[in-house]
Structure formats: C-alpha cells, structure tokens
Amino acid sequence: MTSRTSQELAELEREAVEAIEAADSLPRLLEARSQVLGRKGTITESLRGIGAADPADRARLGRELNLAKQRIEARFADRRAALEAGARERELREHRLDVTLPGTGLRSGHLHPVTQLEREMVAFFTGLGFSIEDGPQVETDYNNFEALNFPPDHPARDMQDTFYVEGGNLLRTHTSPVQIRAMQRLEPPFRFVVTGRVYRHDFGPRSSPMFHQIEGVMVDERTSFGDLKGILYAFARQLFGARVDLRFRASYFPFTEPSAEFDVTCPNCAGAGCGTCSQSGWIEWGGCGMVHPRVLENCQIDAERYQGFAFGMGIDRAAMIRFGLPSIHVLFEPDARILEQI
C-alpha cells in the first residue's frame, strides 16, 4: 500500500466527518464510525499501512493519521451525545406525564344495599329483645305448607308459585317455615326474627323469582294484635322516617287468624300519589296476623294458654321504597356502578 498524501488524508477525514454529521440515528452513526475507524475502516487500514510507507514519510503520516483519528473520534462523540439527547427529548415530549393530574385513589367496597337494610332491620328487632332464627332454603313440604295449616289440597298453596326440587322438597316460598322450626324448639314466651332468601315462580317489575323476607313472631300469654300494630308502626318509622303511615287491610293466610296485609305510605310522594306508588299513595309491604292455634299446636305449644302474632315482609320491597327504585331487578344487577348509586 502506498502511503497517503496529506491531501488524501484531509479528503478521507472530510468524508468521515460528513458521514458522521449526516447520521440521523445511533445505528447509522455507529455504521459511519466503523467505516472509518472499524477493523476494516479507512483510517485503521491507513494506520496499519504506515510500516510499509516510505521511511521518510512515516513520521508525518503517523502524526497526521493520529490527529485525524482524534478529531474524528471527537466529532463522533459529539454527534453521539447530540443524537442521544434528541432521542431523550423526543421521548419526554411524546410520553408526557402530567404530575399535576389528580390520582385515581383507592376505592373501598361496601355491603349490598339489601344486606345493609337487612342488618338495619334485624338491629331494630334485636333492640326489642327479639332473637335471631335461621333455616334452610330447601325445605320440606311439611314446614313450608302443612305445619303452617295448608292442608295437601288447600287452594292457598296456589297463591305461592312453588319451585319443587327432586325428592319432594321445595325451595321455601316464604320465611314462615322457620316459624315451625323455631317454635318446635323454643318454650314460650319467646320472640324472634328470621331473614333470608325465598323463591317463587314469579317475575315482574316488583317481583323476582328470588327475593328476601324478614319475618317475626312473638308468643306470650297476652300478646295482642295491638302489640303487632305498635311494633310495625315503630319499625316502619324507623326505616322510612317519622312521617310514614301504615294501612292494614283484612286478608287471609292459613297460618294466621285474623290476618291482614299492610301497606306503607309512599315515601316518595308522602301519600299524595306518584309514579312510584301507581298514583295510589300506598305501597304494599307485607302480611301479618295472630298465629293460628293449629300452628301453635303443631309445635306442641298450648294454644289455650299462649297466643302470638307473626308478620313477614319483603326486604327488597323495603329497599325499593327506601331508595325509590323503579324495579326490584335493579338490586340484582351484577354491576357495581348501579349498586353504588343506591
């Protein structure tokens, strides 16, 4: 290899610097550098060729090559720093992070509205000395109907569209079978409440095949219908406010005598009539009455000595009244955003 003239070296350096300055990305820059300073780069090969050069020229060539190499390395380093700063700046611009934005915060869960109301209802009765009783959702025909004075072919069985399960059992249609379970065990005087899920083959804006009831029984020697009304009034006012009123309508249940159904004044319009109560001013809420002597006897309680009252009402219905819901189904929507609004 013949040694390069100073002019050739200057030309080499100029080309190298041009390539470095033209590189618009780090890979291109590295590529440009390796063409000059890589193992087979032009400057590297020239340096390697010094040994073969004219001895008189070696010193000049070596000096010039080394200086050129240093200058190219310096340009390279500058260009690299510039490209890296540009990339960083672009990233900052594109992935802008606004640290003044409000955070998302931690959200805590809460009990389902029906559970909240159920607990509130139970607390009212335990405050009056009622105990809490419980029973299974799959019941015997005996507890759900027969012991409650529904004989086998009694037409009142049709009032409750029953879901039967295999083996002759059924999904309880009300919480009243727990009256039987509890009264068979307890010695009067006693008072208890029951809450839980019940099932009926029924579907409408105010009825769902599964809903919740709360039921209460009080048995003593002198328990009266007046006591029953007093407790129901206090309960309704606790739940819906001091201005609500109750209305009792004579009705029929095989397990109570006399029996009544009761309505509560619509808390939405305070009884004036609105869409929530179908303009009637009243919302149907539950059933009640004096425990039928035959039911007491079915539980080995002396019906000559003891008498009692019983009542039962929908918890979901109470939630509809309390929260002004258009339909019971809103409560069973599997969407936390809907339940949060309640």
**Hunting for tokens 């249940």 — which residue is that?**
253
| Window contacting ligand PHE (CB under 6 A); options: 84-92, 186-194, 203-211, 281-289 | 281-289
DSSP assignment, residue 204?
A: B
CA distances from 123 to 126, 186, 321 (A): 5, 21, 19
Does 191 help bind ligand PHE (rule: CB under 6 A)? no
Structure tokens at 190: 């006693």
Does 310 help bind ligand PHE (rule: CB under 6 A)? yes
State in angstroms the smallest separation of the CB of 300 from ligand PHE.
20
Helix (H) or strand (E) holding 144: helix 141-144
Distance CA 94, CA 231 (A): 68
State in angstroms the smallest separation of the CB of 137 from ligand PHE.
14
- Pick the binder of ligand PHE from 3, 162, 176, 265 (CB under 6 A): 176
- Pick the binder of ligand PHE from 46, 162, 256, 298 (CB under 6 A): 256
Does 172 help bind ligand PHE (rule: CB under 6 A)? no
**Hunting for tokens 């006012």 — which residue is that?**
237
Taking the least distance from each CB to ligand PHE, the nearer of 174 and 317 is: 174
| Window contacting ligand PHE (CB under 6 A); options: 2-10, 121-129, 164-172, 286-294 | 286-294
Does 253 help bind ligand PHE (rule: CB under 6 A)? yes
Does 308 help bind ligand PHE (rule: CB under 6 A)? no
Does 188 help bind ligand PHE (rule: CB under 6 A)? no
Taking the least distance from each CB to ligand PHE, the nearer of 159 and 342 is: 159
Three-class secondary structure of residue 54 per DSSP: coil
Torsion of CA 225, 228, 233, 239, to 10 degrees: -160
Please give the radius of gyration of the chain, using alpha carbons only, rounded to the nearest integer. Answer: 44
Does 289 help bind ligand PHE (rule: CB under 6 A)? yes
Tell me if 134 sits within 8 A of 185, measured CB to CB.
Answer: no
**Hunting for tokens 């919740």 — which residue is that?**
212
Nearest residue (beta carbon) to ligand PHE: 312
Structure tokens at 94: 């594109």
Binding footprint of ligand PHE on the chain (CB under 6 A):
174, 176, 215, 253, 256, 287-289, 310-312
